[in-house]
Each structure stands twice: as C-alpha cells, then as structure tokens.
Amino acid sequence: MIKNAKFCIIRRYTGKYPVQTMCHILKCSKSGYYTWLNRQDREDRDDIIADLIFDCQKQTRNTYGYRRVKDWLLRETGLIINHKTVLRIMTKYGLLSEIHRKRRYKSHCDKAYKVNNILARNFNADHKSTKWVTDISYIHTNTGVYYLSVIKDLYDGFIISYKLGKQNDMCLVTDTLIMAKKEAANGMVLHSDQGTQYTSSAYYNLTKEYGITPSMSRAATPLDNAPIESFFGTLKCECIYRQKPKDFDHASQLIDDYIYFYNYIRLQSKYKMTPYEKRCLRLAS
C-alpha cells in the first residue's frame, strides 16, 4: 500500500482508533503522518485564500501587489496573514499583479524602432484593413499566467488574428502578425503600445515586408489604444472571469470559443450587428 493511501486511512479513522496504533499496524511513522497531514491542511487553506485573492484582483483590475492584497484581505475579510504567504499563494496560482509583471520585459529588446502615434486616437475607419490595433494581455489560470496577442480591425471590430502563448516574447507578436498577413493591405496602419516586442527589429521588419505602417501609443497612455483594451476587458468579463481556466489548453479552448462568438454571434451595440455581418455588408456594397 502506498504511503499516501495509508495516511488517508489514518486520517479517516482518527478519533476512532489511536493514531500511534494505526501507524504501527500500517508500518508508517507517526511523524511522517503529521507532516503529511499539515501539508494537506496547507493545500486546502491555499485554495481558500487563492479564491479570495482572485476576487481581490478581479475587483482591482489585477493591479494589486502582494502587500496591498494582504491589506485588502484584512480589510474585506478580517484575515490576518503574513505577506510572504500571500506572495507564495499569488505566485502558485498565477495571481500576481499584471502591472508589476510587465516591467520584467522592458529592457529585453532595443528601442531602435520606436515610431510616432500616427493613429492619434482616430479610431474610425471607412474600410476594412485600413486601421488595425494590437496588444498583449495576461490570461490567469490555475497553472500559471499565459499571454494573449490579438489584432483587431477598427472598421468592424473583427478579430483578425490571435495567439495564446506560454511566453511573452517576440514570436508571440510576429506569429500573430503572420497569421493576419492575408488580410493586410498595403499602407494600412497597425497601432500598438511601446512594448519591447513591438519596438523590436523583428516586428518592425515584418511590418515593412507586409507594407504596413506601424504606429505606437505615447508612453504610459493606454487610452491611445483604447479599442484593444476594451476588447480585452470584454473578453475577461464575459469569458475568463466567469470560468477560471484550469490550464493552458482550457484557456485556449475558452478563447477560441469566445472569439468565434465575438466575431460571428455577438451584436455590437454601435452597429447593431456582428463584426462579421458588418464586414460582409461592406463587401456586398
């Protein structure tokens, strides 16, 4: 009989039979049992606290670091907990602040290809594939944080391409752009923020190859890329936050289903039609 199974039997019959007697009969150590029992109790407690932290991050738009989460837990639930424990659980369940995590990537690439804000918050487009916006967002799951890269057409709101990746790297954004190649038009504008992936030579050279004019938000000005931020907010509110993804595959399935729904079924209040219907309406005219 494996050790964990023996310990489960002992826990089940604790109170009915002495622990020392059961350990002797099952040929396992008493200290080993209590070590295992404490570990199980901690895992159960971690799950409960992780749910509370998830609620905190949802309410605060994933902006709280572990010290502020500790304060939030005390204020909202009365839970007194060490900040190191909060950090351990946030790391374990992929609940770290998005804002602080972004800083880790700032110095990994050169800034030689930073360009002006050509879009200048003019989010209206008269034709498809004249103005696109793109960005990366964090997708939290029970097994960690993954990264979703998306390109959106401002004409009809259609999601042109997307990719969920395990690494927030150059390949994530270049692969997303490669997938959108067939929809690209010569001279069109593709707007992003000043993230290191978008200022890299690999991304810049790819836009030039496809005849795309890159545009970038001003530093620390998320409203310059409001349409893509709005999409990510809608995706998380209507999909991700409603059923926390278990792992990468589950998140990928949820995102595939939701983006199909977003493109082909979900009505946009602005146009009273789906992005696909608006796209087809223009093609038919």
* Cβ 72 vs Cβ 80: under 8 Å: no
> pLDDT tens across 254-279, in order?
999 999 999 999 998 888 899 999 99
169 secondary structure, DSSP code? S
Q: Which residues of the chain have pLDDT under 50?
A: 1, 100-110, 285
Q: How far apart are CA 102 and CA 50, in angstroms?
A: 22
pLDDT for position 38: 74
Q: Which CATH superfamily is domain 106-284 in?
A: Ribonuclease H-like superfamily/Ribonuclease H (3.30.420.10)
* Cβ 197 vs Cβ 206: under 8 Å: no
Tokens coding 60: 């605060």
Residue range(s) occupied by CATH 3.30.420.10 in the chain:
106-284
Query: Which pTM value belongs to this model?
Result: 0.63
Residue 255, SS3 per DSSP: helix
> pLDDT tens across 111-156, in order?
568 899 999 999 999 999 999 999 999 999 988 889 999 999 999 9
Which residues make Cβ contacts (< 8 Å) with residue 57, sequence separation at least 6? 64, 69, 95, 97, 140
Pairing of strands 189-192, 213-216: parallel
Q: Which of 138, 131, 135 is nearest to 153 (CA)?
A: 131
